[in-house]
Amino acid sequence: MSLKIFHIADFHLGRRFRDHPEVMDALSQARYETLNSAVQQANDRKSDVFAIAGDLFDRTSVKRSEVQQAVQAINRFSGKVVLVLPGNHDFFSEGGDLWQWFNQEAEEHVLVLYRAEPVDLQPFGLDAMVYPGPCHSKHSSKNAIDWVADIKKDPALTHIGIAHGSIEGVSPDFDQRYYPMTHRALKKAGVDIWLLGHTHITWPEKPDRRDHIFNPGTPEPDGFSCRHEGRAFAFTVDPKKNITSEIISSGRYRFYQRRETLSTQNDLEKLLDSIRRDRYQNVVLKLVVSGRLDPDVYEAWKKAIHEIREAVLELKLNDSELVRRVTSDQIRKEFPGDSFPEKLLSYFSENKDDQALQTAYELIEEARENQTKGGRR
């Protein structure tokens, strides 16, 4: 009989998002909403196993109410068993409150895998064994899976490895501080499928039937380095141990980065149209804008900022490299004829040296501002 697994990791429930003060509550609460949605997706697929491969929580010091909120969602899984692995952010320690609170709220089909020892799933009606690699500290230079290779495995069962840590060649762990796992060690373990967590990107990005090592990435995007929409994996393992995998979209919010160069009114309209068209209501947008605009278009840009801000969840704007183009009409209006500034700026304007013109104008503006401030003292 085939085994259906829903694999997810790195929720980081309780994360505060202090870098996003305007929407920190929305981003934090979205992670709980995504957990509820993931459980429902797993139920809709009639999954047998719901596996959370570490960092369900962002830290070991989350509030008890936050733990209760998470467990209430997990308890609603209608399949055979839930596997919850402590990761390096929510690591297991003897006497710690986090996992004691969790176990007090969890139903019987929810297992916290805090020991590095085989777990038999036959009491839950599944012909499978689980080999957990839990974390017991924030950092470790040693992985938690080497012991798995020494265990004799019954070929009649499906053997599931679940661990949390960096993957050789996939995860950014240059100092080898996050339970580093090599491909050799993962293959040597002799399990049929590895359910991993820790790395917030999906790997493999395009899995095929030959793959048996999987890392879903975070299910709810948490920053601009997360370019995907939030993901989980769904697997079917048939009696011959063949694995069919599917990447599941799971998140609510997105983090986008855009760099735009504006030169004309048409450029500005294209930017606005794309934001309107692509529905950025659930997007934290980091927008970097550069270029030179005629005075009327520059004023239109200043008005457009309000529209962009209203269209997105949060706007992180850097338009320090976007400047108002200095025109001959502007020079004549602002500076007396035959004055030094007028002659200097007109010279650069007539010779079409835009860079020198812009630099000279900004220096003159700065000098005028300093002179005005000095006069007020």
What local confidence, expressed as pLDDT, does residue 220 receive? 97
CB of 250 closer than 8 Å to CB of 218: no
Contacts of 76 (CB under 8 A, 6+ apart): 36, 39, 40, 43
Single pTM value for the model: 0.88
Among 217, 249, 281, identify where a domain stops.
Answer: 249
C-alpha 289/C-alpha 296 separation (Å) is 17
Residues 149 and 35 in one domain: yes
> Would you place residue 373 in the very low, low, confident or very high pLDDT band (cuts 50, 70, 90)?
low
> What average pLDDT does this structure show over 175-198?
97
pLDDT at 377 over 60: no
Average pLDDT over residues 219-227: 94
Backbone φ and ψ of 303, nearest 5°: -75, -35
The whole-number average pLDDT for the span 64-92 is 98
145 and 158 Cβ atoms separated by less than 8 Å: no
User: Taking all residues of the chain, what is their mean pLDDT, rounded to a whole number?
Assistant: 94
Same domain, 303 and 362: yes
For the residues 326-336, what does the mean pLDDT come to? 81
pLDDT in tens, 89-115: 999 999 999 999 999 999 999 999 999
Residue 354 has pLDDT above 80, yes or no: no
CA 43 to CA 124: how far, in whole Å? Answer: 16
- Which residue, 249, 280, 313, sits at the end of a domain? 249
Same structural domain, 240 and 261:
no
> Mean pLDDT, to the nearest integer, of 260-275?
96
> In this predicted structure, what is the pLDDT of residue 376?
57
Tokens of 197: 């967590």
Q: Are residues 258 and 365 in the same domain?
A: yes
**Residue 78 maps to which CATH number?**
3.60.21.10
Region 218-240: mean pLDDT is 96
Confidence band for 369, pLDDT divided at 50, 70 and 90? confident
Whether residue 224 sits in one domain with residue 103: yes
Neighbouring-strand partners of residue 316: 286
Residue type present at position 9 = A
Parent domain of 66:
3-249
Burial class (CB in 10 A: 0-12, 13-18, 19+), 350: exposed
Burial of 34 (0-12, 13-18, 19+ CB in 10 A): buried
Do 244 and 304 lie in a common domain?
A: no
Q: Does residue 336 register a pLDDT over 70?
A: yes
Alpha carbons 113 and 101: distance in angstroms, whole number = 15
Q: Do 64 and 175 have their domain in common? A: yes
Name the band, by pLDDT with cuts 50, 70 and 90, for residue 375: low
Structure tokens at 70: 């998470």
Does 89 lie in the same domain as 204?
A: yes
| Of 295 and 193, more confident | 193
Q: How confident is the model at residue 347 (pLDDT cuts 50, 70, 90)?
A: confident
For residue 265, pLDDT beyond 90: yes
Average pLDDT over residues 178-207: 97
Mean pLDDT score, 218-227: 95
pLDDT at 320 over 80: yes
* pLDDT, position 341: 82
pLDDT top residue among 334 and 107: 107
138 and 157 within one domain: yes
Q: What are phi and psi of 257, to 5 degrees?
A: -120, 135
Q: What local confidence, expressed as pLDDT, does residue 374 receive?
A: 64
How much is the pLDDT for 14? 96
Q: Rounded to an integer, what distance in angstroms lies between the CA atom of residue 308 and that of residue 287?
A: 10
Residue among 1, 5, 4, 3 nearest 162 (CA): 5
Same domain, 231 and 269: no
74 has pLDDT over 70:
yes
Question: Do 179 and 306 sit in the same domain of this protein?
Answer: no
Confidence class for position 77, pLDDT limits 50, 70, 90:
very high
Q: Name the domain boundary from 215, 249, 283.
A: 249
**Number of domains forming the structure of the chain:** 2
| Confidence band for 350, pLDDT divided at 50, 70 and 90 | confident
Residue type, 10: D
Clarify whether residues 100 and 233 are in a common domain.
Answer: yes
Span 44-56, mean pLDDT? 98
